[in-house]
Structure 1
Amino acid sequence: MHAALVWFRRDLRHFDHAALHHALRHAQKVHCVFVFDRDILDALPSREDRRVGFIHHAVTELDAALDALARATGGRGAGLIVRHGRAVEEIPRLARALGVDQVCTNRDYEPAAITRDSRVAEALAADGIGFVDFKDQVIFERDEVLTQGNAPFSVFTPYRNAWLKKLDSFFVQAYPVEKHAGALAPKPEGERIPALDELGFGAGNLAELRMPLGVTGGRVLFEAFKGRIDRYKRTRDFPAVKGVSYLSTHLRFGTVSIRELVAYAWQHGGEGAETWLSELVWRDFYHMILWHHPRVVETTFKPEYARVQWDDAPELFAAWCEARTGYPLVDAAMRQINQTGYMHNRLRMIVASFLTKDLGVDWRLGERYFADHLIDFDLAANNGGWQWAASTGCDAQPYFRIFNPVTQSEKFDPEGRFIRRYVPELERVPNKFVHAPWTMGGIDQSAAGVRIGTDYPAAVVDHASARARTLARFGVVKGG
């Protein structure tokens, strides 16, 4: 093959990269491109979207890393060709201009991305240019892990068991890039990366990202987590404790390698690493579900639960979004996502259960809110998590699993440290009241310097009553 074009998307790293590896091995000259896709960017609800800042930084770092790779192997330098337009138009146009034989990219499993890639492949084929994609963002994909009856799994635990049984060194081996980097082609003259404001986004959103960025940042976070991984099982559910890996955004945009993470957890062993590996298996599971059942984007995984009648309660949904439900841990979690674009995983389950099971609001509204606000938003995981919380998805547990927001708060933030970090109105409230401040009497409220209903909201619903309504709501569908 004379020349190839590698199209980077959610794989913004220069190492252990399937498409780049294969292109460098088989082509004499390899160009690299990233497209700030207007079909995606123009649909974002805010021009200050933090994800664009994260991507822009990663693209800039990737450009420099590719250049350094080429020079280290005696080349004249390389880098990314960056375009701002519609990918379905920009990729075929660039492939023609560069005279490549093939476009190589890593596979995506979202319905819109599958449609986009099909359109790009058709346009390329009309010009006699090939299109090939590779598995890169998961360990096992599509039909690689099936039941004994050759059907896709619908429950996680048996899927995980089959996944772990199938795992061996073959599936976690890296795709070396460095030794083939001499084939990287120089960028065309005059190519540069547009600034954030040229893309129509505020340059200030980069400063708001409270995490290390790019491949460098992913490496810093992973190395730090290695020192905590043995405690992961014991600490991961406590939002006030530094217990999780904080790698979700880097996994979403591919600034870390899923193969490297899985290989480390698998080889390290112990309850902490095994528990973390199980979380990485969830990621493969939800991508598998999305690929086999793209209908979940619009409707329930369990067809019978499409008949659940959710409440039309815009005022309750607004209270949830704006962190004024009167349940401190729920409000603290919502302030975390609103202020930082991140939410601890345990809190995601709590607030999702609260919205659907306490407020009776359709899970799709919460799913959309997370999609608009989470820096690490991933369609497969977000949809799977929300449907799990709403009891409409892939879950062996019945619908009457309903989180009690007060007992969850008492269990996972016992001293109210996380609550007080994001809800400073409750800073002086004693621990015995901080999880349910509406139970304080007037004297206690005065002593704590907070009036419930004025300085901090009263509870918008009674959990016991809400739980009864949820059981009735699902009982109608189940015929109970």
Structure 2
Amino acid sequence: MAEIVWLRRDLRRSDLPTLGAATALGGEVAIVFVLDPDGWAALGAPKRTFTARTLLATRAAYEGRLTLRRGDPVKVIPALSREFAAPSVHVSAETEPDGAARDARVEAALAASGVSLVRTGSPYAVTPGRVRRKDGSPYRVFTPFSAAWFEHGWRPPAEEPAGLRLAADRSDPDAWAEVERAAAVRDVALPDAGEEVALDAWHRFLAGPLGTYDADRNRPDLDGTSRLSPHLSVGAIHPRTLLADLQAHGGRGADRFRTELAWREFYADVLHHHPASATDDLNHSLADLAYDEVPDRVAAWKQGRTGYPIVDAGMRQLLGEGWVHNRVRMVTASFLVKHLHTRWQVGAEHFLKHLADADLASNQHGWQWVAGTGTDAAPYFRVFNPTLQGERFDPEGDYVRRWVPELRGIPGSAVHQPWKLPAQARGDYPDPLVDLRVERAEALGRLAASRVQG
């Protein structure tokens, strides 16, 4: 007999409350992961590869005793509960729409055999749905949410339970072969994976960039961010661990990092309460706004061939690393939505396909922030000028030169306006796809027209 811990977005061994819940019953604990063919195929290739590598590291962390099975969890988990004679299956609570619906189906299937599904903790410091207004309604604005979130607080990191005894591995070798094939893909320069790697990266950040994070976090030319988002997305490290470690660090950098974690939790909370916002506008005030979808222009944006260096650098970084600096995510998103007049869903889908840190809540609501259709949305009339953004946040042009090799011969900030230079200086780098002033005026004109119609 063994209790089952079913891992999903919690691929780690430390700070994992489900281990304590399972061990409290006194028997062995079977660590399980289910390779759902539909969910696995739906992942973008970089996220699938990064998850596969994290799974391999997680197997090692559990001394090879991670049972991997392939199939529909609604069938696989009850079958495993019978194999292990498990009274309970323990999970971190899932609040994303598809994951919550899956868990409800699994719970019903287990109940038919008298097995319980026990939820302990979640991928967040505060489980989405817990922080509410005094009248019980959810928050739709970040600032009051963050104040309530800080006031609510969170538990300290979970200690690994004493006396943890791991059940034997009962994996399907073919399932591990599939994971190993995915892990071997080298199309994108991904970071190393696994809990140990994540913790090392976090400690390096604490010892260095955290001190200047408040000032440097908007600079894509600097190594000023934690780069933990891929690890957070698969649960190789938990935000509760980060928040606990930050207690020993004062200053604006630590305060700003806590606020960024609060944003992540806010977006998860919004998605929990408004699952339709994964694909539709949360705020329908722009429902009558006219959009285009010119295939050649969208293709140029996806390929990093718009003629605007900071945009192209970001889009090429996305393809090359499966990650984009957050400031550049906003700039590239604004360009697609405001200058190319394209619906945010087109860009959000492209990002989910190529991001190793793909996170449904953060991605979709980050895009809606730019598009003016979400919570705390930037007003639609706020249009990022990519040239000015590049000059401000990549002042020497180092970020652009890294990702746009055609422009590496252009020194300093001149790289942000290559159209001002002789043609031979920019090689085959394209001319600007659109005129920024013309398209900004067009965007504002469409906004005014939508208000009249509305």
- Length-normalised TM-score, structure 2: 0.94
> What is the match of residue 358 of structure 1?
339
One of 27, 37, 50 as aligned partner of 2:46: 50
- Given that 2:419 and 2:431 are in contact with CA atoms closer than 8 Å, whether structure 1 keeps it comes out as yes
- Given that 1:4 and 1:27 are in contact with CA atoms closer than 8 Å, whether structure 2 keeps it comes out as no
One of 420, 423, 426 as aligned partner of 1:445: 423
CA distance in 1, matches of 2:179, 2:13: 24
> What is the match of residue 471 of structure 1?
444
- Given that 1:233 and 1:275 are in contact with CA atoms closer than 8 Å, whether structure 2 keeps it comes out as yes
Alignment deviations for residues 351-392 of structure 1 (CA, whole Å, 9 cap, x no partner):
011110111111000000001000000000001100001111
Secondary structure in structure 2 of the residue aligned to 1:33: strand
- Given that 1:6 and 1:33 are in contact with CA atoms closer than 8 Å, whether structure 2 keeps it comes out as yes
Secondary structure in structure 2 of the residue aligned to 1:415: coil
CA distance in 2, matches of 1:389, 1:113: 26
> What is the match of residue 322 of structure 1?
303
CA apart distance, 1:339 = 1.2
Alignment of 1:297-446 (within 5 A): 297-395=278-376, 397-440=378-421, 444-446=422-424
- Given that 1:54 and 1:209 are in contact with CA atoms closer than 8 Å, whether structure 2 keeps it comes out as no
> What is the match of residue 247 of structure 1?
228
> What is the match of residue 260 of structure 1?
241
Alignment deviations for residues 450-474 of structure 1 (CA, whole Å, 9 cap, x no partner):
34xxx11111111111111111222
- Given that 2:189 and 2:320 are in contact with CA atoms closer than 8 Å, whether structure 1 keeps it comes out as no
Determine if the alignment matches structure 1 residue 270 to structure 2 residue 251.
Answer: yes
Secondary structure in structure 2 of the residue aligned to 1:479: helix
Structure 1 pair 30–375 and aligned structure 2 pair: CA distance change class (3 A): same
Alignment of 1:4-19 (within 5 A): 4-19=3-18
CA distance in 1, matches of 2:246, 2:270: 24
CA apart distance, 1:105 = 0.5
Q: Name the stretch that deviates more: 331-340 or 82-91.
A: 82-91
Structure 1 pair 187–226 and aligned structure 2 pair: CA distance change class (3 A): same
Q: How many residues align?
A: 452
Q: Name the stretch that deviates more: 460-469 or 204-213.
A: 204-213
Alignment deviations for residues 239-286 of structure 1 (CA, whole Å, 9 cap, x no partner):
110100010011011111211101122441210000011000001100
Structure 1 pair 458–208 and aligned structure 2 pair: CA distance change class (3 A): closer
CA apart distance, 1:160 = 1.2
CA distance in 1, matches of 2:319, 2:159: 39
> What is the match of residue 134 of structure 2?
148
CA apart distance, 1:174 = 1.6
> What is the match of residue 181 of structure 1?
164
Please list every run of at least 4 consecutive aligned residues from structure 1 whose deviation after the TM superposition is greater than 6 angstroms. Answer: none
CA distance in 2, matches of 1:180, 1:306: 57
One of 172, 185, 199 as aligned partner of 1:205: 185
Determine if the alignment matches structure 1 residue 22 to structure 2 residue 4.
Answer: no
> What is the match of residue 266 of structure 2?
285
Whichever residue aligns with residue 150 of structure 2, its letter is L
CA distance in 1, matches of 2:339, 2:412: 23
Whichever residue aligns with residue 43 of structure 1, its letter is A
Whichever residue aligns with residue 366 of structure 2, its letter is G
One of 214, 222, 226 as aligned partner of 2:206: 226
Whichever residue aligns with residue 34 of structure 1, its letter is F
- Length-normalised TM-score, structure 1: 0.90
Secondary structure in structure 2 of the residue aligned to 1:53: helix
Secondary structure in structure 1 of the residue aligned to 2:341: coil
CA distance in 1, matches of 2:423, 2:282: 45
- Given that 1:235 and 1:241 are in contact with CA atoms closer than 8 Å, whether structure 2 keeps it comes out as yes
Structure 1 pair 306–19 and aligned structure 2 pair: CA distance change class (3 A): farther
CA distance in 1, matches of 2:262, 2:48: 27
Structure 1 pair 24–201 and aligned structure 2 pair: CA distance change class (3 A): same
Secondary structure in structure 1 of the residue aligned to 2:162: helix
Q: Name the stretch that deviates more: 342-351 or 259-268.
A: 259-268
CA apart distance, 1:103 = 0.8
Secondary structure in structure 2 of the residue aligned to 1:42: helix
Structure 1 pair 269–371 and aligned structure 2 pair: CA distance change class (3 A): same
Structure 1 pair 88–308 and aligned structure 2 pair: CA distance change class (3 A): farther
CA distance in 2, matches of 1:234, 1:96: 55
Runs of 5+ in structure 1 lacking a partner?
68-77
- Given that 1:25 and 1:180 are in contact with CA atoms closer than 8 Å, whether structure 2 keeps it comes out as no
CA distance in 1, matches of 2:301, 2:187: 27
Structure 1 pair 331–208 and aligned structure 2 pair: CA distance change class (3 A): closer
